[in-house]
Structure 1
Amino acid sequence: MGKIEGVRIKNFGPLKDIVMGKTLSNQKGMALGNLTAIIGPSGNGKSTLADAFGFLADCLEIGVEAACDTKNRGGFQQIRSQGVEEAIKFELYYRETSTTRPITYELEIDEDGMGRPYVKEERLRQRVEKRGWPLSFLFLQSGKGYAYEGKEGGADDNGRSVKGEKVDVELADIRKLGIVTLGAMKQYERIEKFLNFLKSWYLCYFSPDAARSLQTAAPQPYLNRTGSNINNVAQYMYRENKKEFTKVLKEIQTKLPNIEKIEPVKFDNGQMMLKFWEHGFEKAFYSPKMSDGTLKLFAYYLLLHEKNPRQLVFIEEPENGLYHQYLSMLAEEMLKSVGTGFSKQLFVTTHSPFFVNALSPDHVWVLTKGENGFSSIKRASEYDFVKELSEEGVPLGDMWYSRYFG
C-alpha cells in the first residue's frame, strides 16, 4: 500500500523546477489525490512529466546510465535542462497509510568527469515523532554513507544518530540506486517497503497493434506496458478464479459500445483468447480482429479491475483512438476504481475536455511553458473563480476548452 502525496522535479528537460502537491520542501501544498490529471497544450511538458516517472522506474530496473540512454532519451546531456549545470533532482513525498508518518525520497543524478551519469546523492527521511524535522534512515553520497535497520531510527542533517542502529554503507556501483541494493535486505525494512512501492509502478503505453499479436500460452498477472499480453492476462485471471473473471467480463462488457458479450476461449495448447460478440453480427470476433477503440477501452477497464492493483499507474492520453463520448465515462470509472484509500493511485495526461469534464478542479493540474522555455504547473483550483464555477455546475473541461483557465 501507499501513495505519493507530492513530487518535485528539477532540471529534467523543460521541467526546470516544478512541484505538485505536498512535499518536504512545500509543506503548505495540498496532497495529491488518488487521481491526478495533467493538461496543457502540446509541447508544454506533459510527455516529459510522464517520462520523469518512467525514468525513475528505469533507474530502478537497469541503472541510471542505461536509463539515460534507453527509450530514445539520448543520454544525460539531452535529459538535463538546457543551460543547466546542476544535477537532475527528484523529491517524492510518500505515505504508506493514513496513519503512518510520511517518507521523503530525494535523488540527485549528475555526470562524473568522464561524462557518465551516476547517483550523486540519495536520501530517505522520516520523522521519528509526530513533529520535528525528519531524520535520514538512508543517506548516500557517491555510493558512500549510512542506513538504519528496522522500523525506527535515523540521523539528523549533521549525521548525528538520534535513534536506532546505524550501519555504514559503501556501494560497489555508483550507477545503481542504493535502495535497490539495500531494499533487497530484510533488515532494512523501511527501504524494502519503499522499493516495493516503486517497483509496483505501471507506465502504460498501450498499443492496439501490440495487443493483437498472438502470444505463447503463459498466464501473466499484469498487463505489460504495451498490452501485448492481454490474452495472457485473461488466461491468468481465468485460471486463478474462473467465476470472478466471468463476473469481471460481464461488468466490462456493459461499458464497451456495441458489445453484447465477452467470453474467454481456451485452446488445446493452453492458450487463452477473448471472444467478442457485437450487436448486428451473428458470429463472434476474436480479440485480434477487434477495433482499436474497443481494444483500448477493454485494456483500460481490465487494468482498473486488477485483483492486486499496481499502486501507481500512469496513462498517457487515453483519448487517442477513442470516441469522445466514451471519455467522460472512462474518467468516472477511473475515479471509482482508485477510491479514497491507499491501494491505488492514477496519473493521466490528456488533451480531452470531455475527460476533464468528469473531474474536479483539485484533480487537474495545468502545465504551461514560459518565455524562457521552461514549464510551470498549477492546480486548476488555484485559478480565479474556477473552483466556484465548478461548484455551481459548470463542467471543468468546458471551462478549459473556452480558455477560461490554462
Structure 2
Amino acid sequence: MRILHILDHSLPMHSGYTFRTRAILKAQVARGWDVMAVTGSRHVAAGPAEEVVDGLRFHRAGSGSRAPSPIAEWRDIAALERKVDALATTWKPDILHAHSPVMTAMAAGRVARRRGLPLLYEIRAFWEDAAVGNGAGTEGSLKYRAIRWLETRAVAQADAVAVICEGLRSDLVARGIAADKIMVSPNGVDLGLFGSPPPPDRGLAAELGLDGAEVIGFVGSFYDYEGLDDLIAAMPALVAARPAAMLLMVGGGPMEAALRAQATASPVADRIRFVGRVPHDRVEAYYGLIDILAYPRKRMRLTDLVTPLKPLEAMAQGRLVAASDVGGHRELIEDGVTGTLFPPDDPAALAAALSALLADRSGWDARRATARAFVERDRNWSENISRYDPVYQRLASRGRI
C-alpha cells in the first residue's frame, strides 16, 4: 500500500508536530507500507526539494508567498496542490493522508476529488483555536469563524477523519459530522527514543547548579497557553515551603523573552534556570535531572480539546507529572494514579500541589511505574499505528466511503 502524507512541516525541523509525524511514518514503514511525504510552505528548514531525513522520504512544495493574507495562503495552497498532483502522477499513491492545519486538507482534497483518490484528513488541533492560543487570533472574530467554516467543510469532504483525542472528536460530532467517520489516533511515544530513562548526569547537574535540589521542570515550547508564567509565579511560595526547590526550563518559543524577564524579577530568581533549546538527542539527559515535570496549561478551548505529547514522554521517562486540570490533560492523566492535577490559572494551587508531592515521596515509585505501564499499554506508537490499518484498507478497497 502506498500512502502519501501531506504535511505542514517535517523533520529536520523539531516540534511536537514533526515528532508525531516521524513516529507515524516510521511505524508505517516498519509494517511494510510504502510511505512518502510532502510539506507545505511553512517548512522553512534549508534543504533540497527532495530529501531523505532519518530514513524517511520528503518532497518540498517550496517557500511561502510574500503576498498579504489571505492571498498568501491561497497561493501556498495552490503550490502544495501542484506538488501533490505531480506526485500522484509519478508515484501513484493509493491513499492521500493530509495532516492539519486545514490548508493541507484543502490542497490534498482538490487532488483527491480530481483523481478519485481516497483522502484521510488528520486533525491534531483546530487551526483557529491554535491561533488564539498563540496570541495570533481572537475567538469569535471574522477570521476565526472563516477558518472554522473551512475546517468543517474540509472534514465533510474527506473520506475519513482522524483526530488525536476525544475532545476533538466530540467537537466535530457537535458540528454534524458522522461519528462513524471519525477515528481517534491518540498521541503516543516512540519507546525507542524515550524507552530507557537515563541515570542523572551529575556533571550536568553541577554545571546547572542543581546538586541537592528538588527539581521542577518543563521541557517543551514556550507558548502563552502553556501557562509557564503561572509556573514562575508559583516559585516564591514553593521555595518558601521547600527551600531546596528549583525550576529548570528547557526549550524556547514566543514567550521566552517575557518569561526570562519575569524570572529575573522574581524574588527567587536564583532558583530558576533557563537552558534554552537543546539537541533532541540530549533531551533525555535533562529529563534525568527533573523530579517532577510540570504542565500548567491555561484553560481555553485549545487546551480543553487537545491532548499534549510532552506529558506522555515524561511518563515514559519515569518522571512524575503534575498538570493543570484541563480537558486535554484529563484524557492522559488520572489524578492521584498516573499524575497530579491542579486547578488551572492558579499559581498558589500549583505551588501547593508541587509542595505536597515533594513532601511525601512514599508513593513516587508506584506512581511512576503505573504511568510508565499506561504509556506502554495504551500510548506506544508501535501499537497505536494499528488503528490506521482498517481505515486504510477500507479506503483502498472501496475508493471512497
Same fold, TM exceeding 0.5? no
Comparing both structures, which one devotes a greater share of its residues to strand?
Answer: 1
Greater RCO (CA < 8 Å, at least 6 residues apart): 1
Comparing both structures, which one devotes a greater share of its residues to helix?
Answer: 2
Of structures 1 and 2, the larger Rg is shown by: 1
